[in-house]
Amino acid sequence: MTSRLLDLPSLLKLQSLTLRARLVAEGALQGLHRAAHHGSSVEFAEHKEYAPGDELRHIDWRAWGRMDKYYVKRFEEEAEVRSYIVVDSSGSMGYGRQDQLTKLDFASLIGASLSYLLLRQHDPAGLVIAKDTGPLYIPPRGGSAHLGDLCRALESTEPAGRTELDDALHLLSETARRRSLIVVLSDLLPPPPLDEGVDYGDYLRRQSALLRAKLVSLRAQKHDVIVLQILDADELELPWTSLTWFEEVEPGLAGQERLFVDPGDVRKAYLTELGQFLTDTRLGLREGDVDYSLTPTSRSPESVLLDLLRGPLRQKVRR
């Protein structure tokens, strides 16, 4: 789906992340409203004691017969959603094609747009930015003014340093005590090895397996976990045809930051390794009941949000 207001050049002209987020979120909601929707239902979530103003049709008369008190059924779409948006700000997230959003820009826009939708329905939203200096944590709060706090934190974040997503996930495992929605926006690329002689393929598989285990452990804590693996089209295709300098954007071994190679000589091996990495990530997370989506930055942010609303968030965000 496309929109004149939401095409990439128009978004790039908007200086305010808050305004970008609102336009993307409202555009996604319009797309959701236009879509045919049949057979919808809401699932029972919990009881709460009756209070004046509650709808009488939701009184559970069987509960009244057992306990001689009035209790009202609350349904899944009415239950408060406490959310945490996790954004990776490592050096690798700073990559982006010319005139395109960087991966961090893209992640920030999706995270801010989702926060707008949640705050719009009076659900508290929090933010964790994974930094090499330690996670930046903004606790979940409600209110329209809170969106400004989240957007300012994202706008002031620059991509730098090694990937430290593990620390952000560990913080959530200790902090999020009640069931929450956790949305992780990252390229999931591990930092380069610091030890010489390491086989990079083996290193990549080990580090990726450790990260998947942390994500699956959050799901085992009863949180709803959604992972958007954000990659640039260049990373997915390796499109260059002539001799090219490749530069490491995260600190690794000294002297190994730049390589001058012919992409044609390494493309086949690179794409094979990348394909295995993406397959392992997808299958490993889905086996752990974690929602996963490979999300190229070439996609419309509105379409990404719309897919979330139609899929894993369909019972979380009200229209």
pLDDT for the residue numbered 199: 81
How high is the pLDDT of residue 37?
A: 44
Whole-number pLDDT of residue 277: 94
**pLDDT at site 247:** 76
CATH topology classification for 4-34+80-310: Rossmann fold (3.40.50)
Of 99, 160, 85, whose CA–CA distance to 128 is shortest?
85
With beta carbons less than 8 A apart as the criterion, state whether 172 and 182 touch. Answer: yes
pLDDT in tens, the chain (319 residues): 444 445 665 666 666 899 889 999 998 888 776 654 433 444 555 556 666 655 566 666 666 566 666 666 655 445 678 999 999 999 999 998 766 789 999 999 999 999 999 999 889 999 999 998 999 999 999 988 999 999 999 999 999 998 889 999 999 999 998 999 999 999 999 888 877 778 877 888 899 999 999 999 999 999 999 999 999 999 999 888 888 877 777 766 544 567 778 788 888 988 999 999 999 999 999 999 999 999 999 999 999 999 999 999 987 887 6
What is the rounded CA–CA span in Å between residue 150 and residue 117? 13
* CA angle (46, 47, 52) in 5-degree steps: 135
| Predicted local confidence at residue 258, as pLDDT | 72
Nearest to 186 by CA among 229, 155, 157: 229
Whether the CB-CB separation of 289 and 219 falls below 8 Å is answered with yes
What is the enclosing helix (H) or strand (E) of 88?
strand 83-88
Query: What's the predicted TM-score (pTM) here?
Result: 0.82
Residues in the chain: 319
pLDDT of residue 11: 63
In the chain, domain spans: 4-34+80-310, 44-77
